[in-house]
């Protein structure tokens, strides 16, 4: 499994090619070779998956019911602009013009590592997106991470459970 983190400032050349930073390229799974999948993101960005990660998502999307209009529409929208790519020896690849246009990519681009995927953004669009979001990072952290901490706090540790079980057994023995 691959893991991507950090933000990388990169440049598109005049032909629309970009070089993946060496840290990103080295994080690609060996079994994928130099194959990646690039598609439209949910926001005004592009999403990049290593081939093996994409195959997991692809299986989910293609398992939807083709006889249901809603499922077909989702499949079409989700797969729109999808391009399978093989990196050249230097880690460079061409971003199709239609995807460049969708993500408003010109010369400067930002590659953002998000765990098992990457996103490619125009730096200004990315900044606008992050600063235009409602709620602060503090509010979002509380919503997404705070509840997990609260849930964990309410879960008894295995030692606590063992101690309670031992105490109950001792009470049963003394009652007899």
Task: Please give the pLDDT value at position 75.
Answer: 94
Rg of the Cα atoms in the chain: 23
pLDDT tens digits for range 116-130: 999 999 999 999 998
pLDDT tens digits for range 7-23: 999 999 999 999 999 89
Domains along the chain with CATH numbers = 7-132 (3.40.1550.20), 137-175 (no CATH)
Residues of the chain with pLDDT under 70: 1, 133-135, 147-162, 165-166, 168-176
Beta strands in 6-50 (DSSP E): 7-11, 17-19, 35-40, 46-50
Adjacent-strand bridge partners of 111: 8, 120
Nearest-angstrom CA–CA distance, 24 and 34: 11
């Amino acid at each position: 499994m691959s893991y991507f983190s950090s933000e990388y400032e990169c440049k598109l050349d005049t032909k629309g090619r970009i070089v993946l930073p060496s840290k990103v390229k080295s994080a690609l799974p060996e079994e994928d070779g130099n194959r990646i999948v690039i598609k439209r993101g949910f926001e005004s960005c592009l999403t990049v998956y290593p081939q093996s990660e994409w195959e997991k998502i692809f299986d989910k999307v293609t398992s939807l019911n083709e006889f249901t209009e809603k499922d077909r529409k989702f499949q079409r929208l989700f797969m729109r602009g999808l391009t399978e790519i093989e990196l050249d020896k230097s880690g460079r690849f061409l971003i199709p013009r239609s995807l460049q246009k969708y993500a408003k990519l010109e010369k400067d681009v930002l590659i953002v590592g998000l765990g098992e995927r990457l996103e490619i953004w125009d730096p200004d669009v990315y900044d606008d997106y992050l600063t235009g979001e409602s709620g602060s990072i503090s509010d979002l952290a509380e919503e997404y991470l705070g509840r997990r901490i609260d849930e964990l706090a309410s879960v008894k540790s295995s030692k606590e459970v063992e101690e309670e079980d031992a105490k109950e057994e001792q009470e049963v023995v003394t009652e007899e």
